[in-house]
Amino acid sequence: MRLSRCALRPWSVLAAIAVLSFLCASPATGQAEANDRPRAVDENPFSAFAMYQGRLVHQIGFKGLTSADAGRLRKLIAQHEGQPLDRNLIRQSIVTLDATRRFADIRAEAERDPSGGVNVWFVTEPNYFVGQVRSIGNPNRPNSNQVVNASKLVLGTRFVPADLNRALASVQQLLRDNGYYRAEVKAQSNPQPERQQMDVNFIIDPGPLARV
């Protein structure tokens, strides 16, 4: 999970150009010393917020969420509007959002406000959980319940695309065990954003039943 990312703004790019111009105008000896000097690397993912540290937070928003959901989550996080921006509070806020298990990815972005403050955005990608699992086109044996059980997709558990591949293999094996060696199985996933659920249909073309 990417913890944070601070959006770059045109004024910061201009500042970087100004610094570069100053370095280019420096004497050659100064350039050599600068090149020889090891550069410090800040691996802290929240270091991009350093330029905004202490600025008053004017607005906190949530991208990808309804206003009702955003309002509820805004009450949970540690960083609040009207407070100075604090990288530790941003970090705590992301941990709090992650603990809800609603999101597959969360990152924080910051941008300078025209008033001199800062706006903070939490950008989220939702988790999906297994919803209704159905079998379509299966023979009498195995029946629909047997196909669903073989998939091992359990209602309410987190939906992971890799699990769908394993479910397909299990259903295919179930059909072979019952004599359908030429069966074709496709999985159709249907997201339900309002419920954060992923409904799954197994579409089966059993083919001929092998005779012994």
User: What are the angstrom distances between the C-alpha of 95 and each of 47, 65, 134?
Assistant: 17, 18, 35
From 126, 146, 169, the end of a domain falls on 126
User: Do residues 200 and 190 make contact, with C-beta atoms less than 8 angstroms apart?
Assistant: yes
Per-residue model confidence as pLDDT tens digits over 26-52:
333 333 333 333 223 234 556 668 889
Predicted pLDDT at 42: 36
Which residues on adjacent β-strands are paired with residue 20?
none
Q: Count of CB atoms within 10 A of residue 161's CB?
A: 9
Regarding whether 150 and 196 lie in a shared domain, the answer is: yes
Per-residue model confidence as pLDDT tens digits over 120-179:
999 999 999 999 999 999 999 999 999 999 999 999 999 999 999 999 999 999 999 999
Q: Is the pLDDT of residue 4 over 90?
A: no
User: Do residues 82 and 89 make contact, with C-beta atoms less than 8 angstroms apart?
Assistant: no
Count of domains observed in the chain:
2
Q: Is the pLDDT of residue 186 over 80?
A: yes
User: Which tokens in the block code for residue 173?
Assistant: 């094996």
- pLDDT mean over 178-185: 96
Per-residue model confidence as pLDDT tens digits over 75-101:
999 999 999 999 999 999 999 999 998
Regarding whether 93 and 50 lie in a shared domain, the answer is: yes
The burial class, CB within 10 Å (0-12 / 13-18 / 19+), for 110 is buried
Predicted pLDDT at 34: 35
Q: Is the pLDDT of residue 13 over 80?
A: no
- pLDDT mean over 178-202: 94
Regarding whether 111 and 33 lie in a shared domain, the answer is: yes
- pLDDT mean over 112-124: 93
Residue with tokens 């603990």: 99
User: Which secondary structure element, helix H or strand E, spans residue 144, and what is its range?
Assistant: helix 144-151
Predicted pLDDT at 142: 96
From 108, 126, 144, the end of a domain falls on 126
Whether residue 3 lies inside any domain: the answer is no
User: Do residues 115 and 100 make contact, with C-beta atoms less than 8 angstroms apart?
Assistant: no
Predicted pLDDT at 187: 96
Regarding whether 92 and 37 lie in a shared domain, the answer is: yes
User: Do residues 186 and 202 make contact, with C-beta atoms less than 8 angstroms apart?
Assistant: yes
Regarding whether 122 and 111 lie in a shared domain, the answer is: yes
Q: Can you say whether residue 156 is alpha, beta or left, with left for phi > 0 and alpha for psi between -120 and 50 degrees? A: left
Whether residue 210 lies inside any domain: the answer is no
User: Which tokens in the block code for residue 117?
Assistant: 């403050």
User: What are the angstrom distances between the C-alpha of 140 and each of 147, 188, 203, 206?
Assistant: 11, 21, 14, 10
